């Protein structure tokens, strides 16, 4: 694990995996999802696949998701793209890589799509392609679905980790973070209204969702980019399947398999391989 400094005096951790077939000038930077980290099974599986394909892998950890809480009051959010750029800049600064692919899941996929489209001229030329899975590209619509009573088990899974982060932040920043505001939270919108938005400079949850959703930036993506959202994803509403945007942008390849769930895509058999890993392998070989 390598720890790097951010421009605002915080830190990010990167879990490195070396290419398994010799020296390489190619790198895959892998983004995890909401309440994830670099040791999640879907992250490790993707790292194993790309290192066998001739890439090094840099699996970075979002602020607040590492083994140590980040330094600043804020932690990660769905629209954070500055940290991706920091990781990319650091990796390019090693002088080891000429070609980079970005791979992201869920929240991490939204960040990648937003990064690629919000200011295309800012994206380094070494970024050649990207692949994303289970992306909530319309955050407000996604929040509405996740917070339905029928999805309560998923909401509670995410909230367990988010509550712990709030308590950890309150100990370091008692004036800025008030744990009493956790009372009565029964939706992601309420959490984002009370914590995510104010800690990250947004007016409220609606402002956060509006400015951070990647869907509005898809038209400006200039590199070959795969977006795979399964039709049976329990989190994603119709607005997260950007058919018209993909039809209008020849660089955006939207696929909507019938099955896959949310960051699922599990294949049967003893090899313990995700379908998403095979899909990225084929995409990278074709790109």
Outline where DSSP puts E strands in 48-164: 56-61, 99-105, 127-133
Q: Are 228 and 258 in contact (CB under 8 A)?
A: no
Instruction: Note the pLDDT of residue 137.
Output: 97
DSSP string for 155-195: HHHHHHHHHHHHHHHHHH-TTT--GGGGTT--SHHHHIIII
Instruction: Note the pLDDT of residue 115.
Output: 98
Instruction: Note the pLDDT of residue 268.
Output: 62
pLDDT tens digit sequence for 162-199: 999 999 999 999 999 999 999 999 999 999 999 999 99
Classify residue 3 by burial, with Cβ atoms within 10 Å: 0-12, 13-18, 19+.
exposed
Predicted model pTM:
0.95
Q: Are 20 and 51 in contact (CB under 8 A)?
A: yes
Domains of the chain: 2-138+214-286 (3.40.50.1820), 139-212 (no CATH)
Q: How confident is the model at residue 272 (pLDDT cuts 50, 70, 90)?
A: low
Classify residue 161 by burial, with Cβ atoms within 10 Å: 0-12, 13-18, 19+.
middle
Residue 34 CB contacts under 8 Å (≥ 6 apart), including other chains: 78, 106, 107, 158
Distance CA 102, CA 130 (A): 5
Helix (H) or strand (E) holding 141: helix 139-146
Instruction: Note the pLDDT of residue 191.
Output: 96
């Amino acid at each position: 694990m390598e720890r790097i400094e951010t421009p605002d005096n915080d830190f990010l951790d990167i879990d490195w995996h070396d290419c398994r077939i010799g020296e390489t000038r190619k790198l895959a930077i892998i983004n995890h999802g909401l309440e994830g980290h670099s040791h999640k099974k879907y992250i490790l599986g993707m790292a194993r696949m790309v290192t066998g394909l001739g890439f090094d892998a840099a699996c970075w950890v979002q602020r607040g998701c590492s083994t140590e809480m980040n330094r600043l009051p804020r932690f990660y959010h769905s629209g954070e793209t500055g940290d991706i750029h920091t990781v990319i800049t650091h990796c390019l600064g090693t002088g080891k890589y000429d070609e980079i692919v970005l791979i992201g899941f869920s929240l991490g996929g939204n960040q990648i799509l937003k990064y690629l489209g919000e200011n295309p001229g800012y994206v380094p030329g070494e970024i050649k392609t990207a692949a994303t899975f289970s992306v909530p590209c319309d955050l407000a619509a996604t929040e509405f679905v996740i917070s339905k009573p029928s999805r309560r088990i998923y909401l509670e899974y995410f909230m367990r980790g988010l509550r712990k982060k709030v308590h950890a932040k309150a100990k370091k920043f008692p004036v800025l973070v008030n744990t009493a505001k956790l009372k009565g939270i029964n939706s992601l919108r309420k959490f984002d209204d009370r914590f995510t938005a104010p800690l990250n400079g947004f007016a409220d949850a609606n402002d956060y969702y509006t400015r951070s959703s990647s869907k509005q930036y898809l038209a400006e993506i200039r590199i070959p980019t795969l977006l795979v959202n399964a039709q049976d994803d329990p989190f994603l509403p119709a607005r997260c399947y950007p058919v018209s945007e993909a039809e209008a942008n020849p660089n955006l390849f939207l696929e909507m398999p019938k099955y896959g769930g949310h960051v699922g895509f599990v294949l049967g058999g003893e090899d313990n391989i995700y379908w998403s890993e095979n899909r990225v392998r084929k995409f990278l070989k074709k790109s």
